[in-house]
Every structure is written in structure tokens, then in C-alpha cells.
Amino acid sequence: MFALIRFLNQFDNRPYIISTSNILDFKPSNEEDYDKNCIYSVYWEDKENPENTGTYSSQILLMAYTEEALENKRSRKRLRKTIVHPSDLETEDDAVPTPDKVTAKQGKKRLKDLQQTSKSTAYERILQEQLLNAQAKNCNATSATREPPKRRRILASDSGSDTDESVVSATELKNAKKDAAYWRHRYGEVSAENSKLTCIIETMQETIDVKLATIQQLLESQGSVVLPKATEDHHGSSQAALPAEEPAPSSGQIYAAEEREQVDLDCITPSPSHSVPKTTRQAPTWNLFDAFSVEEVSATMSDPQAEGKPKFSDIGGGRYHVNRGTTIGSSQADRIMKHTKPTMVAKDMAQAIWGRVGLARRTYGGKVAPKDKQNQNVVVRKELSPFKVGLVIETVQHWGLKNKVPVQQVVANMSTVMSQKIQDSRKALRRLGFEDF
């Protein structure tokens, strides 16, 4: 706690802030526990002029717990100085000892305190030295008594390390980590290889499905051509046979488009290994035709049934309107729209429009292959009709919009896709024994 005081008859009349501990015989309980009319003895220590150090009579003007609070009080209110009569001052001066006596007493007390402190320090230093010496002796004695057990434990651990299975050396741990990293890497490589093989198997499965469908169509085509001749042999009537240039009545719609663009399948010369008498060919042809009973209808240009019908819609009668009057079989359209890849859509649509033989007898640009340019006997094949290629592109785009699949890359590479389909058709016919391709 701090007090704002005014010295009486000493120095000047300015107020000073001091700690209440410097006021003799004064122990206030709060900020208001003082008497303005009372004269207090205050010990003043002057650091600038030590001669002024001593006890003086003073009057308390204000009190506060901190200096800041005391300054705030001093700035808020005006200081009122109580009048002190000379008689009161003389009485207090007589009661208060002279500054020289107080200083002498305080000097003696300070000297006594210093002597007591020096003694305590000396005793403490002596005790500390004794304690350090005792601890050093104890440590030496303890280390001397504990050395043999330490050696025995080390020897026991060394001797038992070969048989202790729970302890693993650092080298073994390092090798185990290397092995784990190696097998983890091998697992990643095998997983990636398995993923690639799975993709390859899926692609091969789709290719096999397409080739099986091709064989099915070829077998149906052969069955439809030899059907009248087999009937002739069976009934013994030559009038029931149809000319080779005309299709069978049951398949007139199937090959209506291909009659205008390609030579009939009877004009293809099969290899000797596949040529058998027609009488012996009757039974397997009918059996294969019955096994593949799905009707594959070829495309029909300017079909009157498609007039006024929306594009890419089923118009009934087993026909499907593609666009601009071109129709294909409903079963073909279903199979095309169920594909999961745009390239398969383009290839199957091309087969539905031109047919297998029609594709085999054409090229995309109507040019000779580079390997056949030196051959003078090579025959230039017909070019694919741009109108029909446009139908293939429109079908791919319609399939992409329907299934929300991007097809821009396939449309841009349509020449490559169609060339691949043409090569697949020729290879399929060669495998069946037709060497004209």
C-alpha cells in the first residue's frame, strides 16, 4: 500500500509518494485507515543526498493500494491540507527520536543482520561441502558393489542370445524389411499384369463374339443359296431349282441391297478342301441353318415402309429405320445398340449395310494397297459409298448420345475402323475356304 505524504517544516511543501512500510508504527487495514490530523513519523531515504536520510514528521494526505491508483485519486480530487498547530508539532517532535539516533539504531540492526547472514552462509557452505564428499564416497562404494552383477548380466545375455528366439538382430530385421519391400513390389507388378490380362481377355471375347456372328451369317447365307438345289435333289425335279443369279424366295428381302452392289455368294469359288458334292452337303447345311435360326436382314435403301417414320426407330415387320429411308433388321439393330464400345457399333452397322461379302470386295478410299502397287494384275476394289459411311457415323453418334459415351475420336478415325472391318471380313472368308479374297 502507498501513501501521499507532506513533510512538516522540512524540505519543501511538496507531497511525496512512499510505501506505508516506511511509516513507523503504522499498519493500515484499508485505504481509509488513517487520520488526516495526526502526525506520523516517516523514514525517508535520500539516495541523492544521504545526509538527508532519517525520520521526519509528516502528514498523510491520501492512500491507495498501488501507485497508479494513488495518482488517479490525486488527479480526481483536490488535496486538502489540515492545519497543524505548532504545539502539536513540538509534542510530536519530542516523542520522535532524533534522526541521528534512528540512523544509529538502524545501522546497528543492519550490521547485526549482515553478521547473521554471513554466519548462515558459512554454515551452509560447510554443510554443502560435507554433503558432496559424502555423496562421492557413496557413489564409489555403490559402483564397486554393483560391478560384478552387471558383468554377470552382460555375460548371461551374450551367452543366451543364440537361443533366445524373442531377440532379433539388427541385420535380420533389415533383411526382413528388404524382403517385405521386394514382395510388396512384386505384388504390385503381378496385380498390374493381371489387370492387363483381364482387359486382353475381354477384348478377345468381344472379337470372338463378332467372329461367331460372322460365321453364323455366312452359314445362313450358304443355307439360303443351296436350299433350292437341295430341294431339287430331294424331290428329283429339275424345275424346282432356281437360277444362281436369283436369290431364294425366302431370302429375297435378306439380300435385296447386296444384289445391286456385289456378286452373289455362288460366284465365290471355295477351296478344294471345302468342296463336296451337293447331295452330301444337304444334311449339314440344314442342320447348321436350324442351329442358327436368328434371321439377319440386310439393309434396304429407300424402303417404302420407312416413309414418314422417325429415324432410329422400329417400324414393325422386323425392320428398323436408320435414317433417310434406309432400314435394317430389327435383330441387327438390337445387337448393335447393345454394344459397349463405339468401334463395335460402327463395324456391325457397316456389316448390316454392305454385308460380309460386300465389305470384302471394297476398300474405304477405292485405292490399291501399297503392297499391291507393283502387281500389274491387281484389281482395284470399289470405294465405300459416302452416303452409307454417313449412315454409319450417324448411328455411332446416336448410340453415343443414347448411352452418354464420347464418340468423337471414333468418328474422326472412321477410315481406320472401316479398314479394320474390311480386313476382318476378308480373313473370315479365307478361313472358311473362299480364296477370292
Query: Where residue 263 sits, what CATH number does that domain have?
Result: 1.10.10.2590
- How far is 182 from 180, CA to CA, in rounded Å? 5
Q: Are residues 295 and 427 in the same domain?
A: yes
As for how many domains the chain has, the answer is 2
Q: How far is CA 22 from CA 48, 70, 96, 104, in A?
A: 18, 17, 14, 17
Q: Are residues 244 and 387 in the same domain?
A: yes
pLDDT for the residue numbered 185 = 93
Using a 10 angstrom Cβ sphere, with 0-12 exposed, 13-18 middle and 19 or more buried, the burial of residue 261 is: middle
Give the chain's residues under pLDDT 50: 91-97, 150-161, 224-297
> Which residue range forms the structural domain that includes residue 278?
209-431
pLDDT for the residue numbered 219 = 84
- Single-letter amino acid, residue 242: L
Residues in the chain: 437
Query: Given 61, 96, 131, which residue is the final one in a domain?
Result: 96
157 within domain boundaries: no
Q: Are residues 233 and 362 in the same domain?
A: yes
pLDDT for the residue numbered 181 = 93
424 within domain boundaries: yes
Query: Given 96, 122, 142, which residue is the final one in a domain?
Result: 96
Q: Are residues 400 and 275 in the same domain?
A: yes
Q: Mapping DSSP to helix (H, G, I), strand (E, B) and coil, where does residue 16 land?
A: strand
- pTM value? 0.35
182 within domain boundaries: no
Q: Are residues 83 and 220 in the same domain?
A: no
Q: Which three cell numbers stand for residue 306?
A: 420407312
155 within domain boundaries: no
198 within domain boundaries: no
pLDDT for the residue numbered 189 = 93
- How far is 366 from 434, CA to CA, in rounded Å? 22
Q: Are residues 226 and 81 in the same domain?
A: no
- How far is 366 from 381, CA to CA, in rounded Å? 6
pLDDT for the residue numbered 135 = 86
Query: Given 42, 71, 96, which residue is the final one in a domain?
Result: 96
Q: Are residues 216 and 363 in the same domain?
A: yes
281 within domain boundaries: yes
188 within domain boundaries: no
When computed from its CA atoms, the radius of gyration of the chain, rounded to whole angstroms, is 60
Q: How far is CA 161 from CA 13, 151, 156, 170, 418, in A?
A: 92, 15, 8, 13, 75
107 within domain boundaries: no
Q: Which three cell numbers stand for residue 314?
A: 422400329
CB contact at 8 A, 328 and 353: yes
CB contact at 8 A, 388 and 353: yes
